[in-house]
Amino acid sequence: MGFKEILLILLGLAALFGIGYLVVYLVGKYKEKKKAEQLALESGANAAELARAKEIQRKEKEAYVPADQLRAFRVKRTTLKVITYIFLILIALFILIPFYWMVITSFKSAEEIAATKPSLIPNKITFEAYKNIFQLELNPNGTLKRGVPFLYMFGNTILVGFFTTVFTVISVVFSAFAFSRLRFKGSDVLFTILLSTMMVPGEVFIITNYGTVSRLGWVGARLNDDTVKIIGNYLAMILPFIGSVFYTFYLRQTFKQVSDELYYAAKVDGVGDFKYLFKIMIPIAKPTIITITILSLMGSWNAYIWPNLVTDFQNYKMWLVSNGLSNAFRSTIELTGPGNVLNQQMAGSLIVTLPLLIVFFTLKKYIMRGVVRGGTKG
């Protein structure tokens, strides 16, 4: 495939994403307009009078602006919109092209991947890679020889992600409520110290956390180890991440939006702090808490460095989806070479990426709503 074909494909993708973005933009504007009209009708305003008032306002505004200035303003506004669309389309291409390459590579054969000229469209769609990664083959000592143990990887990731997310949400809710509503000596100083820890690189905490779990004997559970060692290995992947300073700050901003008068009125009525938290604050901050839950789960799903440090790369029964792919193909690459398993690597990456995409697009409105609520007050 030559340069012209590649350029045409890129231009076609750019046009496709541009049209898609334009459709989404127009649909959003249409929904906003319909919502505004509905609100106007509900408030007793006549739609015709409202349109007439808008037209009079527009004409009055244009009457004070010379025609050449008005024309220049419209040209400038249109040019700015075009530049914005082009910029957004380019950003979308930079994000989507690697994903597109991963998808098409997973459907290519090993021979096509080894070809000198890479193709943007598979010459022949094959499911060879997906078939190979689901066929597990073990060595005589019980270690993995080839294939990807998705059952263990997904099970371990869901288990670790569930407990990490549950304990993170619990600790974040209580700490955010304490810093936003309870008045105790040194609360501002303590919160400032907590925020200052966000300036420390995460790698520094990895060193100290690894030293702690290593002394407890929770690192590197092997295939033939007992249940206590295996449970300790799970605890090593869960306990160091059951709290988050950023999520505490994030939820605190949402709690701060609730007026102090409501809290004091509840105290006068004899409502305790726990009841006030569960009956009033948590329902109000529900979108933000859902957002924290989703982001925490996604963080556990994508974690790579820490699970790779505390688990044994030969014990496939303890792998997560993040480090499991690299560990699974390590022995296969030694046998066949890196080029022969590239399609299998892309197929495995696509399989472990799909659940996150489904979660994000299913719960996207909660994430957006939580981001807006959490960032409206300092």
Q: DSSP letter at 116? A: S
Q: For 283-326, how does the pLDDT look when each residue is reduced to its tens digit (9 = 90+)?
A: 988 888 988 998 899 888 988 889 999 998 889 999 999 888 88
Does residue 234 register a pLDDT over 90?
yes
- Band (pLDDT 50/70/90 cuts) for residue 35 is low
In DSSP notation, 259-321 reads: -HHHHHHHHHTT--HHHHIIIIIHHHTHHHHHHHHHHHHHHHHH--HHHHHHS-TT-GGG--H
**What domains lie within the chain, and their CATH numbers?**
3-106 (no CATH), 132-374 (1.10.3720.10)
Q: For 53-62, how does the pLDDT look when each residue is reduced to its tens digit (9 = 90+)?
A: 666 666 655 5
For 259, list phi and psi in degrees, rounded to 5: -65, 145
Pick 161 or 64 by higher pLDDT: 161
pLDDT averaged over the chain?
81
Q: What is the model's pLDDT at position 378?
A: 45
Does residue 101 register a pLDDT over 70?
yes
Does residue 21 register a pLDDT over 90?
no
Q: What is the model's pLDDT at position 48?
A: 63
Q: What is the model's pLDDT at position 336?
A: 63
Residues 6+ apart with CB under 8 A from 355: 301
Mean of pLDDT values over 253-282? 87
Largest CA distance in the chain: 88
Q: What is the model's pLDDT at position 25?
A: 59
Does residue 45 register a pLDDT over 90?
no
Provide the 3-class DSSP secondary structure of residue 195: helix
Does residue 262 register a pLDDT over 60?
yes
Q: What is the model's pLDDT at position 40?
A: 57
- Band (pLDDT 50/70/90 cuts) for residue 171 is very high
pTM over 0.75? The answer is: no
Mean of pLDDT values over 79-106? 88
Residues 6+ apart with CB under 8 A from 348: 133, 148, 325, 328, 329
Out of 60-64, 89-93, 266-270, 374-378, least confident range: 374-378
Burial class (CB in 10 A: 0-12, 13-18, 19+), 119: middle
**How far apart, in whole angstroms, are the C-alpha atoms of residue 116 and residue 356?**
34
